[in-house]
Structure 1
């Protein structure tokens, strides 16, 4: 009898403790922030390329044979939606520490909307002193200063804006304040080579059958000034001052025991507040000009060049050269309404050499329609913020690709809805 009463008392004691246990909250050791956005895209294409424009390597529009019917399509997707987690950690030797992880749903094999896979976009840690930052992890490639502010997820990545790749790296950023309104920012980084694709066997310069790329070196110098005030930057999510940035990178790859190639690139980017914010915060009656130009060789996976190599054999192959230009205007007549128009173009400089390139070397580039001469994009979009969380936008795009023997074109009408959180 005593044992039964003791057992019942033990059970009652455990049950009475459950509410208290449930009230205890689970907390991280550090301060965490969760954010991101939901995005629904609708696109009507005159050439069936899917919900977003073709990406690098390659990235040209498929040609339609003469006399063939149009391959137009209408598609929805929500795979650009993303999540990020930001961490504020403890100090180290006078530096504030932090980290960020960001994901979207364009992971490998995510062909179906119903089976979209998570993809790591950014994953990095930082140590921030007063004027110096050390970053380690995966972050934007240093090469490239701007991006086309398109509703299209590609952001003009193969038409003069090769800023889309996110690569594992270690970078050091140092800021020098010249005055209260002027400053210089310097970045130096060691990066996983962007000419080396993330997926084994991809059509890139790493597909050599036993040799590979060296870690690339990249850097930039950026001058900023508030002499002209500030005006909206990317997506209108913040205001930026007058900015002039010089950037570049260089790497090396061994193709054969006797032949090494050196991919390289350099360029300049600028942002000019033509009509500045009245109070430094409002977007109403602001106008921003952005422009960029670069030269590059052998950086096809990044989208800076259309091809990786030209040459009859691997023994005499050389990086394929090209250049890119880009410009856009952003006008906000009111705080809520934004109008953006731009043009970008990637031009190949080795088309004649590419025509004489052997099939074995051509296979190292993603060129299913033959050597590319140019790839250009024209776009105009309008966005409206219904409130701080909800944005609607529409866009018209015309993308045209000229190949050595043919051409491809796609006209897109795009409508999107965002919910920022």
Structure 2
């Protein structure tokens, strides 16, 4: 027994020696990028970036998203959704009760979660899918119990130069996204990009040479006018699909520079976009056209030195458009003008521009301006408190502390000018002032995962 016990002890000690020796062996050489202090482009904070790692499901599945805590101070009262600029673009009049009181809001409802799937090939194409949600399902809900909201849910088939996408995705009209910490992203101020609508779209790349190509997009989509236009007041419209498209020239000649919030590196892009559809006014049955067209450009002014590093890069992005009866995506503030039975489309236009500058890899500075304007004020006869214009001036600074954590601060100046001013009792539109303005200070902390 003694010999057996001694033998077991000896074997145990012998087996422990390699483990102890292994602990003394130096670790492998550290990776080229130190993600704790200097996040590189391939691991820098991003919504659909390469932070994701495949996990096992039926197909390869990536899980990601971010936690976002916002503090917003508004010089006027935007109501229960005051963590964001008003979706309508209507800033409370200075003479209204809302215009004479301020607001302080802390919210985490802009946090997001997404699942991205890489599935089996089909007819030589890669197949992919994405489901993304946030917590803005009900602005009136208590802060501890917000509802999930489907942002995107789509599947795609991707060939080398062709993509077919179906599901809910961003509106094809208006490619520019205002790079604001305010996740309204300037939608009612000249960048009507935010509606995510059911659609099927075809994207085709046409290579002209090694550096230049055309990007052509065509889709059929639902304008999401159930009950009423999202941001409009007035007659209720029937629900009809519309068609939309883009034709863009893309060139590598100027290199690349950071785009929206520094999360992508974009090439020189310039081209046109448009939309057409029609709606029926339920009260009269009259058919009214919905349409819009515009120009978009992205210009790398100071290019990245290697296509990944953001240090000392500068970009400009801008667009201008004209639209009619497109309150469903905030391209116009109203739906129709005219008397009952003689309704015609409310017309407007928008313009926006922004510059994004990265003095270092981790520090981003953005400044921009956007404006949405009604066309032909005389056509709004009989419509009280219509929006002549809604504008936004913004500047923000964002800094990446590491590959996961980003902090940002922002200032916004928001203005709305009203026509046919009355003392209507609608929230924020009481009083006799013809303007509404707000100064907004915003602080945000992100944790990308």
TM-score range (shorter-chain normalised) is 0.7 to 0.9
Q: Give the aligned partner of residue 31 of structure 1.
A: 60
Q: 1:104, CA displacement in angstroms?
A: 0.6
Structure 1 stretch displaced more, 273-282 or 248-257: 248-257
In the superposition, relative to structure 1, how do residues 187 and 290 fare at CA in structure 2: closer, same or farther (>3 Å)? same
Query: In 2, distance between residues paired with 1:292 and 1:264?
Result: 17
Alignment CA distance shift 1:208-1:373 (3 Å): closer
Change (3 A) 1:293 1:32: same
| 1:52 equivalent in structure 2 | 84
Structure 2 residue matching 1:263: 3-state secondary structure:
strand
C-alpha distance in 2 between matches for 1:89 and 1:115: 34
TM-score for both structures, normalised by structure 2: 0.81
Which of 396, 408, 416 matches 2:436?
408
Who is 2:135 aligned against? 105
Deviation at 1:213, TM superposition (A): 3.5
Q: CA deviation at 1:64?
A: 2.5
Question: Against the structure 1 CA distance between its residues 392 and 109, is the aligned structure 2 distance closer, same or farther, given a 3 Å change threshold?
Answer: closer
Which structure 2 residue ranges, 5 or more long, are not aligned? 1-54, 422-433
Say if 2:100 is the partner of 1:70.
yes
3-state DSSP of counterpart to 2:380: helix
2:447 is equivalent to residue 419 of structure 1: yes
| Pairing 1:393–2:425 present | no
2:317 corresponding residue in structure 1? 290
Aligned residues, how many? 378
Q: Is the 8 A contact 2:129 2:155 kept in 1?
A: yes
Q: Is the contact between residue 278 and residue 290 of structure 2 (CA under 8 Å) also seen in structure 1?
A: yes
CA–CA distance in structure 1, aligned partners of residues 401 and 414 of structure 2 = 30
1:279 to 294, 300, 306: 306
Alignment partner, residue 236 of structure 1: 262
Sort the Cα spacing of 1:213 and 1:201 in 2 relative to 1 into closer, same or farther, 3 A. closer
Distance 2:409 2:418 in 1: 30
Could you tell me which residue of structure 2 aligns to residue 327 of structure 1? Answer: 353
Paired residue for 1:363?
Answer: none
Q: TM (normalized to structure 1)?
A: 0.86
The runs of 5 or more residues in structure 1 that have no matched partner are 1-25, 358-368
Cα pair 2:312 2:359 within 8 Å, conserved: yes
Q: For residue 127 of structure 1, give the secondary structure of its aligned residue in structure 2.
A: strand
Question: 1:138: which partner in 2?
Answer: 168
Tell me if the contact between 2:317 and 2:353 (Cα under 8 Å) persists in the aligned partners. yes
- 1:261 to partner: Cα distance: 0.7
Q: RMSD in angstroms over aligned alpha carbons?
A: 2.0
Give the Å deviation of 1:351: 2.4
The 2-side partners of 1:190 and 1:205 are apart by 22
Q: Which residue of 1 aligns with 2:69?
A: 40
CA separation of 1:341 and 1:298: change in aligned 2, threshold 3 A: same
Alpha-carbon deviations, 1:92-130, whole Å to 9, x = none? 111111100000100135532211111000000001112
Q: 1:180 maps to what in 2?
A: 210
Q: 1:266 to 1:229 in 2, by over 3 A?
A: same
Matching residue within 232, 239, 244 for 1:218: 244
CA drift of 1:70 comes to 2.9
For residues 131 and 280 of structure 2, the distance between their equivalents in structure 1, rounded to whole angstroms, comes to 34
Higher mean alpha-carbon deviation, 333-342 vs 255-264, is at: 255-264
Deviation at 1:216? 0.2
Partners of 2:252 and 2:200 lie apart in 1 by 29
Query: Shift of the alpha carbon at 1:214?
Result: 2.3
* Partners of 1:281 and 1:393 in 2: CA distance: 22
